[in-house]
Structure 1
Amino acid sequence: MSRPDHDTLSQGEVYDLLSNARRRYVISYLRDRDEPVELTDLSRAVAAWENDTSVEELSDQQTKRVYVSLYQTHVPKLDDSGLVDYDQESGEIRLTSSVNELDTYLPAEEEAGVPWQLVYMAIAVVGLALYGAAALFPAAFGWLSLTLLGSVVMAAFAVVAAAHYLSARGT
């Protein structure tokens, strides 16, 4: 039974709940399901994940070990926290809306943005190519001052670094 005395979980409680890989997997597995899941099915899914195999290839021992752990420790802890509802009579488990509280503590999915490492690499490659060309073919690049080239490359790095900084700040 979930606890009625707390409306929200503290940061410490969330980190404690998420500190165990089995509990994280249980939450992830249940998030992908629209209906309640039986503890036996959940145990098989967790055991298959942990043993990097299919549910069909699991041994009884592998499934039993996970079932006991979920039954005795992890599901009751998630139930007490209010993240899941666990009906011991039917053996069914389902997520509650409280699971959304975890999202504030989890890293956001990376947004598609500027691949800054590629921008820096492009500046370095172009700068090195121009330096190499000027050194290998001085007659063809006589118009190019190495001092000016160095200044332009440094300025390009400075501009990109400033843009990267402002982008990271969200400005």
Structure 2
Amino acid sequence: MLGEDPDQNSTDVLFDLLSDARRRHLWYCLESATADVLSVDELARLIEEREPQTNDAEPPQHGHLAHELYHVHLPKFDEVGLAEFDAGELTVRPDSVPPLETVFDAETGLPVGESD
């Protein structure tokens, strides 16, 4: 599920990956992508569209979000095998990102295949 290295398939890795709201938005954007390759800027725009805006908060600045994706979030997705992140080309190739609904067992709340 999360790459080919069995050590990467731990519950902790999955929960760490999904512990951040931006990474959950990124997961959805990669899962629903129809293109084989996306730019970091394109992903930033897609995430901006998904993030809820409140009257109190300023909208995220596009450059800041792209910077955060580049340095923080995309390397994590690359590390666990969900995306190929090319830092030099500023592109991302989604690698069979499954729908989140299929990742967790509805009864236990644990990743599919994991047990207590």
| TM-score under structure 1 length normalisation | 0.49
Give the Cα separation in 2 of the matches to 1:101 and 1:49: 16
Shift of 1:37: 1.1
Q: What is aligned with 1:42?
A: 43
Structure 2 spans left out of the alignment, 5+ residues: 54-58, 108-116
Q: 1:106 to 1:38 in 2, by over 3 A?
A: farther
What is the CA RMSD across the aligned residues, in angstroms? 3.1
SS for the counterpart of 2:61 is helix
Does structure 2 conserve the Cα–Cα contact (< 8 Å) formed by 1:79 and 1:86? yes
Structure 1 spans left out of the alignment, 5+ residues: 53-58, 109-171
Shift of 1:100: 3.3
Report the identity percentage: 29
Q: Which has the higher contact order (CA 8 A, sep 6+)?
A: 2
Does structure 2 conserve the Cα–Cα contact (< 8 Å) formed by 1:9 and 1:101? no
Does structure 2 conserve the Cα–Cα contact (< 8 Å) formed by 1:87 and 1:93? yes
Matches within 5 A, 1:1-171: 5-6=5-6, 9-35=9-35, 36-50=37-51, 52=53, 62-97=61-96, 99-100=97-98, 103-105=102-104, 107=106
Give the Cα separation in 2 of the matches to 1:85 and 1:106: 27
Aligned residues: 101
Does structure 1 conserve the Cα–Cα contact (< 8 Å) formed by 2:70 and 2:87? no
Q: 1:107 to 1:18 in 2, by over 3 A?
A: farther
**Greater radius of gyration (CA):** 1
Shift of 1:94: 2.2
Does structure 1 conserve the Cα–Cα contact (< 8 Å) formed by 2:26 and 2:47? yes
Shift of 1:88: 2.0
Higher helix share: 1
